[in-house]
Amino acid sequence: MRQDKRKYRLYIIKSNKHIYAHLINETNKKIVTSSSTISRDIKKQTTSLKNCNTAKIVGHHIGSKMQELGIKEIVFDRGKNIYHGQIKAIADATREKGIIF
C-alpha cells in the first residue's frame, strides 16, 4: 500500500541560535515528532549550536525518528528560508536516512 506523500510535512524553523525540524501530520495538523539543537541527544553530539554540521545531525536524528514511525515519503517545507547551507544540510541528511521528498 502506497503512503500518500502529502500526509506528512517536515517543517524547518531557524532562529538566531537554534534549528528546529518538526514532522507535522497534515490530516489533523498535529506535530508527530521533532528534533532540534536544544534536544539532549543532539547537545551531546555537538559543541556549537548553529552550523551546517549541527544541521546535518538534526537531519539524521529526525530521519531516524521517521524510520522508526514507518514514514518513508514526506513534503519538505523550508518556510521562508532559502534552500542553502543549513537547510540543505538538513534535507541531505534526511535523504541519507532513506526519506523521500
- Is residue 101 in a domain? no
CATH number of the domain to which 54 belongs: 3.30.420.100
- Is residue 61 in a domain? yes
Domain housing 89: 5-96
Q: Which pLDDT score, from 0 to 100, does residue 1 have?
A: 40
pLDDT of 87 over the 90 cut: yes
Q: Find the helix packing angle between 86-96 and 52-69, rounded to 10°.
A: 40
Give dist(CA 31, CA 16) in Å, integer.
22
Place of cell 534549528: 19
- Is residue 41 in a domain? yes
pLDDT of 17 over the 50 cut: yes
What domain count does the chain have?
Answer: 1
